[in-house]
Structure 1
Amino acid sequence: MTTQTLKILAAVLATATVGAAGGYWLAQQRMAGPAADLSAVATGAAPERKTLYWYDPMVPDQHFDKGGKSPFMDMQLVPKYADEVGATAGVRIDPGVRQNLGMRLAKVERASMSPTISAVASVQFNERDVAVVQARSGGFVERVYARAPGDVVVAGAPLADVLVPEWAAAQTEFLALANSGDRSLLEAARQRLRLTGMPEGLIALVEKTGRVHAVTPIATPIAGVIQTLEVRMGMTLSAGMTLARVNGLATVWLEAAVPEAQAGQINLAQTVAARFAAYPGEAFKGKVIAILPEANADSRTLRVRVEMSNAKGRFKPGMFAQLQLAAGESTPALIVPSEAVIRTGKRNVVIVALDGNRFQPVEVELGSEVGDKTEIRRGLLAGQQVVASGQFLIDSEASLIGAVARLDGAAAIEGARP
């Protein structure tokens, strides 16, 4: 290679080296310029934001003192800044989205509430209105009438005709003494008839007709329904044998299970309104006659017994009724629709509508519930607007941005403020 060729190659290499160095320097300058400008903007125009805590958006109730990776999800913790807490906190919902969701608002109102307790009751027999028909003396069944369990009978309805030999002998002796004219002996014979168990009506009939009535009917002493019937044609009776059981229907009982937390608000003899599916549009009145002294260990309820007239026989045992029991005097209170309350088990929350299409979860203390209205004892003011439908979607969105987490972290937030 000649000397001239070597000089040309050296010049080319030097030019390439200088070009590369210059390009590197130019690139560094171009990159450093914007970075320096951004640094100046960040430090000069935007003030430093104060971080209250870090949280996982999927588990907003859990707070952390420093950032990093979430122990729950494969994601970074999100900081909660102090300037995000206050009047601007909440969830913003576009008006178009609100319309698509069918969201409804309701006003917090002050109104009078008459606390009531609703309960489902079943109709039962009045167990105090029961008659047991028994054989008063030994005998034989001569005839039975067309009766069966479940039949409704009137008072005095015959069940069977019975031959009682003892009664026949006593009647014969009584009639013989009646013709003697000795009043003391006649009264003694009449007393003997009573001691054999003979009814007063049969004694009067024997004395009136002057003849023996060996076969006598056994009848029901009260009107009602035959629950059991044990008398059959040709059977032999012994004294004290039960022949039938009759339950009266003039009154019935309504028995309802009331939560023990509400049972203390019910008083004996108070009036109860009852409605039956069989008689729509009609309300019937009853009276509390007993609050049974034993609670159901499984359902934590007490049985309340209501007595109601059944003169027309419209209420049949086994039917169901809806009861309304007054649970106190009418008092003024703040009320919202019951559907506006979100019950999480840990707290009770309502979604309050703010200015600028924003919505804020607010924890409230509930009072009594009457119909579709719920009393608010703490947390709201009269005139505020609350979400009555669609609030669960807002509550979910609020949880994702940490709005609901502030309900648990309110005390920590106040402590972190200067």
Structure 2
Amino acid sequence: MKRQIITLVIAGIFLISACKEKKSEDSQAKSKVCVSDSLSKLIKIDTVKIANVKDELSLSGEVSFNDNRVVKVFPFASGQVMEVRVSLGDKVARGQTLAVIRSADVAGNYTDLETTRSDLAVAKRQLQQAEYLYKNGISSERDYTEAKENYNKALSATRKIREQIAINGRGSTGANGTYIIKAPESGFVVEKNISAGSYIRQDNGASLFTISDMKDVWVWANVFESDIAKVKTGYAAKVTTLAYPGKEFEGKVDEVSSVLDPENKVMKVKVVLPNPGLLLKPEMFTNVLITNNEPSSSVAIPSDAVIFDSSKNYVIVYNGQCDLHIREINVIKSVGNITYIGSGLKPGERVISKNQILLYNALSE
């Protein structure tokens, strides 16, 4: 009985050894994965390089007109709006009528002008008479000087009223008090705070119209507290809109606010953009991508080369047509089509960045 047990154990050992040898022979007999000539036309090989680390921050924003390239039209006289001839977004030319106002102030200016004209005519006659009497030795120099001063005062009063009418009543049709507001410059009406029938006051702090040439615009983007350190003046910015899918507008961060918005707790940054074709309109919502080249550098490869499998990242290292290896890598971050590697690759090595999944599946079997 004891001899039979020993015999069975020895037989089992020989059987396990034979299985291991068989598995090893099968593994060695298995053909290597090679890149055929036809497959080589379908793949792309890139060299691992050292590159400056880029950082991108995606923000939401809104288009606004350039405050440095606008003209705000304020009321120079109070009155009732009789007619508004332009709408928001209209293109206007310099001198074009924007609105018509019936103003008691303008009418009063013309009344004052008539009064000062009469006073000036009287003062002129008195001056001529005083000058004649003085030159003929009938009146004193004092009387002549007093008449001259009275004339100068009347002349100044008349000039003041005329200048006031030239400013406040520019374009008015006469003493009936019609006050015509005209465009001081050509451009687009980007703000309109006036409507027919309303009453405006001269001391109103709000502008009636805002006109902008729209050749360049501002985009105000919102930055949360956690991302404030990632945005600085001069950083490159790419702006996209829903209105023009696939089109990018490139600009730079021109201003970074020093305070947070008290309501939504975000910091505002201003991006200045050229506006060719006047495509960007005020109040448009935008996506803003802020890009920064950090002073640090890292190993970088195309993002297309990375294979994500089972919560890990891999690449196919290409050493030769039949010398391919799967290698796990540690990804720092990806920006655009560049992935920065913390470990797993060295500069100068080559990786497959197109259709590498086919080789990955073959090498994984």
> TM above 0.5, one fold?
yes
* Aligned twin of 2:112: 173
Structure 2 unaligned spans of 5+: 21-26, 125-150
Give the superposed CA RMSD.
5.5
Return the offset for 1:310.
3.9
| Equivalent of residue 227 in structure 1, options 191, 204, 227 | 191
- Percent identity over the alignment is 18
Distance, in Å, in 2 between the alignment partners of 1:110 and 1:188 is: 81
Matches within 5 A, 1:186-197: 186-188=155-157, 191=160
Distance, in Å, in 1 between the alignment partners of 2:226 and 2:256 is: 14
* Aligned twin of 1:139: 79
Distance, in Å, in 2 between the alignment partners of 1:204 and 1:165 is: 14
The alignment status of 1:362 with 2:328, answered yes or no, reads yes
The 8 Å contact of residues 118 and 323 in structure 1, kept in 2 or not, is answered as yes
The alignment status of 1:378 with 2:340, answered yes or no, reads no
Distance, in Å, in 2 between the alignment partners of 1:152 and 1:262 is: 39
Give the length in aligned residue pairs: 317
Matches within 5 A, 1:13-412: 35-39=8-12, 41=14, 94-95=33-34, 104=43, 106-113=45-52, 115=54, 117=56, 119=58, 124-126=63-65, 128=67, 133=73, 135-142=75-82, 144=83, 146-178=85-117, 179=120, 180-181=123-124, 182-188=151-157, 191=160, 198=164, 200-201=166-167, 212=175, 214-222=177-185, 223-228=187-192, 230-232=194-196, 235=197, 237-240=199-202, 244-248=208-212, 249-256=214-221, 264-270=229-235, 272=237, 286-292=251-257, 293-294=259-260, 304-310=269-275, 313-317=278-282, 318=284, 325-328=291-294, 333-342=298-307, 348-350=313-315, 352=317, 359-366=325-332, 369=335, 371-386=336-351, 388=353, 389=355, 391=357, 394=360
Higher Cα radius of gyration: 1
- Cα displacement string for residues 315-354 of structure 1 (whole angstroms, at most 9, x for unaligned residues): 333275775644346x764322213335679765445568
TM-score by length of 2: 0.60
Return the offset for 1:201.
3.5
Q: Which has the higher contact order (CA 8 A, sep 6+)?
A: 2
Distance, in Å, in 1 between the alignment partners of 2:310 and 2:191 is: 48
The 8 Å contact of residues 337 and 374 in structure 1, kept in 2 or not, is answered as yes
The 8 Å contact of residues 307 and 315 in structure 2, kept in 1 or not, is answered as yes
Distance, in Å, in 2 between the alignment partners of 1:359 and 1:286 is: 43
- Cα displacement string for residues 41-98 of structure 1 (whole angstroms, at most 9, x for unaligned residues): 4899999xxxxxxxxxxxxxxxxxxxxxxxxxxxxxxxxxxxxxxxx9xxx975599x
* Alpha carbons of structure 1 residues 243 and 112: separation in structure 2 relative to 1, 3 Å: closer
* Alpha carbons of structure 1 residues 396 and 40: separation in structure 2 relative to 1, 3 Å: closer
The alignment partner of 1:170 has SS state of: helix
Return the offset for 1:252.
0.9
Please identify, of 311-320 and 348-357, the stretch whose mean Cα deviation from structure 2 is larger: 348-357
The 8 Å contact of residues 364 and 378 in structure 1, kept in 2 or not, is answered as yes
Structure 1 unaligned spans of 5+: 1-24, 48-87, 402-418
The 8 Å contact of residues 337 and 373 in structure 1, kept in 2 or not, is answered as yes
The alignment partner of 2:191 has SS state of: strand
* Aligned twin of 1:16: none
Distance, in Å, in 2 between the alignment partners of 1:201 and 1:224 is: 23
Return the offset for 1:217.
0.3
* Alpha carbons of structure 1 residues 114 and 175: separation in structure 2 relative to 1, 3 Å: farther
The 8 Å contact of residues 222 and 266 in structure 2, kept in 1 or not, is answered as yes
Distance, in Å, in 1 between the alignment partners of 2:325 and 2:198 is: 84
Distance, in Å, in 2 between the alignment partners of 1:348 and 1:215 is: 76
The alignment partner of 1:315 has SS state of: coil
- Cα displacement string for residues 221-244 of structure 1 (whole angstroms, at most 9, x for unaligned residues): 453325335332xx3634256683
The 8 Å contact of residues 63 and 217 in structure 2, kept in 1 or not, is answered as yes
Letter aligned with residue 270 of structure 2 = R
